[in-house]
């Protein structure tokens, strides 16, 4: 992986009764996020053993692009809609590759 | 992503005093794991915000290849060495892509 890019993983946890709604909100974020400047990769996954858990695996060209994503209008709208559907606060962290 | 493959993420958490030792054990697993039959991808990352946490993002050609990995000699040896270095039991889950 290009060492100058920024790898982010976000873990987003629904409640049992909000999985379907949250899944749709997160799914709707994929296209607009991939269309952002500096988006190298953006994938959304659902834990098959514990379906309330979603993970995004994101790669951005630099920290500025990752920061811009967090304040993009489609992300702000999703956070607003998703807030009451979450079981836990989202865990969003940068990850460095270990060679 | 090819829908027939199996995506696995493992979260492995060290203690503050075992990060360096565990990192080396996990790093040594990357090459042999990538060399296994059915390994489509195997990446190791360290959480930059919480360096005790490591994540592998793995892709296997099918469930049999993923299962074979868990019983490969190099994995068994690493589990044996890493056991006393862990702060938590490893979390190993299958993840399905959400289109």
pLDDT in tens, A17-34: 999 999 999 999 999 999
Enumerate the residues of chain A whose CB falls inside 8 A of the CB of residue B47. 93-95
Look at A95 and B1 and tell me if their CB atoms are within 8 Å.
Answer: no
Mutation for B interface: A1, A25, A54, A95, most B CBs within 10 A: A95
pLDDT in the model for residue B99: 79
Q: How many domains does chain B have?
A: 1
Examine residue A1 and state whether it is found in any structural domain, yes or no. Answer: no
The boundaries of the domain holding residue B51 are 6-95
Examine residue B46 and state whether it is found in any structural domain, yes or no. Answer: yes
Average predicted confidence (pLDDT) for chain A:
94
Whether the model clears a pTM of 0.90, i.e. scores above it, the answer is: yes
CATH number of the domain where residue A63 is located: 3.30.70.100
Q: Nearest 5°: phi and psi at A71?
A: -110, 10
Pick B46's closest partner by Cβ from A53, A54, A96. Answer: A96
Examine residue A67 and state whether it is found in any structural domain, yes or no. Answer: yes
Examine residue B1 and state whether it is found in any structural domain, yes or no. Answer: no
ipTM of the predicted structure? 0.88
Enumerate the residues of chain B whose CB falls inside 8 A of the CB of residue A9. 45, 55
Look at B98 and A23 and tell me if their CB atoms are within 8 Å.
Answer: yes
Q: Nearest 5°: phi and psi at B96?
A: -105, 135
Look at B98 and A46 and tell me if their CB atoms are within 8 Å.
Answer: yes
Examine residue B18 and state whether it is found in any structural domain, yes or no. Answer: yes
Average predicted confidence (pLDDT) for chain B:
94
In DSSP notation, B43-96 reads EEEEESSSTTEEEEEEEESSHHHHHHHHTSHHHHHHHHHHGGGBSS--EEEEEE
pLDDT in the model for residue B83: 92
Pick B48's closest partner by Cβ from A26, A57, A93. Answer: A93
Q: Nearest 5°: phi and psi at B16?
A: -55, -35
């Amino acid at each position: 992986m290009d060492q100058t890019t920024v790898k982010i993983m976000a873990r987003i946890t629904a409640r049992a009764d909000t999985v379907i709604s949250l899944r749709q909100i997160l799914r709707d974020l994929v296209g607009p996020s991939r269309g952002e400047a500096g988006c190298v990769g953006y994938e959304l996954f659902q834990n098959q053993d514990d379906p309330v858990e979603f993970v995004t695996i994101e790669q951005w060209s630099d920290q500025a692009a990752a920061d811009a994503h967090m304040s993009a209008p489609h992300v702000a709208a999703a956070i607003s809609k998703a807030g009451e559907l979450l079981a836990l606060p989202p865990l969003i962290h940068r990850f460095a590759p270990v060679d």
